[in-house]
Amino acid sequence: MDRFVQVGVNISRDQADSVTKILQHHGAMSVTVTCSDDQECFDNALPGEPRWEQQRLCALFDPAEPLEAMIEAIRPCLDSRPELIIGEVADRDWEPDRLASASPFRVGPGLWVCPGERKPESSGETSLLIGPGLAFGTGAHETTRLCLEQLAQEEVAGKTVIDIGCGSGILAIAAVKLGARLGIGVDIDPRALETAASNARINAVEEKIMLMSDVEFADTAKTCHGEMVIANILTPTIIQWSDTILSVVERGGTILLCGILKPEAVAVKMAFGAQVDFMEKTLNNWVLLIGHVR
């Protein structure tokens, strides 16, 4: 692919998460955020996380992707000004440029994320090396942070951890580096699986990582089980996969569900019924549901 369709939208901070989900739901290959004015504002509690009141989201789409439904879904979020800009951009290797300027950051007790394979100065702690690739999951987004922070607190040693919608593979790899016996990554996008395989090699855990498409996973779901299942994906997909998630998690196991906005948490809990007891953790407008299977 030598060109992408670029969709730019200026949006207020309180609408940014909702619009990002709309863009992702309608096929955005990546979504980046910058400041739409001259404001410089970062939250000291989350280094590197922008908290600009006015933000500009820039999404890249495959030129073959129909955008009409996405445009109609976004318009109610816009004010009276024409803020939606659509154009074309030439392909280039965007991710290495972005990762090259990113610094390692801690996401949990003794757990670091190292974009661009840059290791932290501190030693004796677990480092996740994340190389370039067209897949979600560099650790910077709130949903990935929530999952990583919880993983660092869970007892995963010797367990099989299944990551549905694995993206870059960061969560499955983190589980293995924290002691899991096996990390199984599942994704619908072949490019994500390629990126996850590369990251597994970078982290020297490829022998403990198993990657498969959603079709392959569906074929093996009756025999593929784990003590923990993670799904950091869009809420409608979590609900769609709820029966499968319940069928592959061991009794007494743990489910981590993220990619959920606060108003959506009740619907997700209902989809899993009384079989799972949930607790919640939140970061900004995002919710992590921590489920314990009865």
End-to-end CA distance of the chain: 47
Output the pLDDT for position 183.
Answer: 97
- Which of 70, 92, 114 represents a domain boundary (last residue)? 92
Decide if 230 is inside a domain: yes
Domain-located, residue 131 = no
Q: Is pTM, for the whole model, over 0.75?
A: no
| 37 part of a folded domain | yes
pLDDT at 54: 78
Q: Which structural domain, as residue segments, surrounds residue 7?
A: 3-92
Alpha helix stretches (DSSP H) within 94-139: 94-100
Mean pLDDT (10-residue bins), the chain, 294 residues: 78 82 84 64 44 78 86 78 69 50 74 74 75 61 90 95 94 96 93 91 95 91 90 91 94 95 92 95 92 95
Which pLDDT value is given to residue 7?
A: 87
Cα separations (Å) of 214 from 186, 234, 246, 248, 259? 6, 15, 16, 14, 18
Domain match, 186 and 55 both:
no
Residue 237 lies in a domain: yes
The verdict on residue 114 lying in a domain is no
CATH code, domain carrying 86:
3.30.70.120
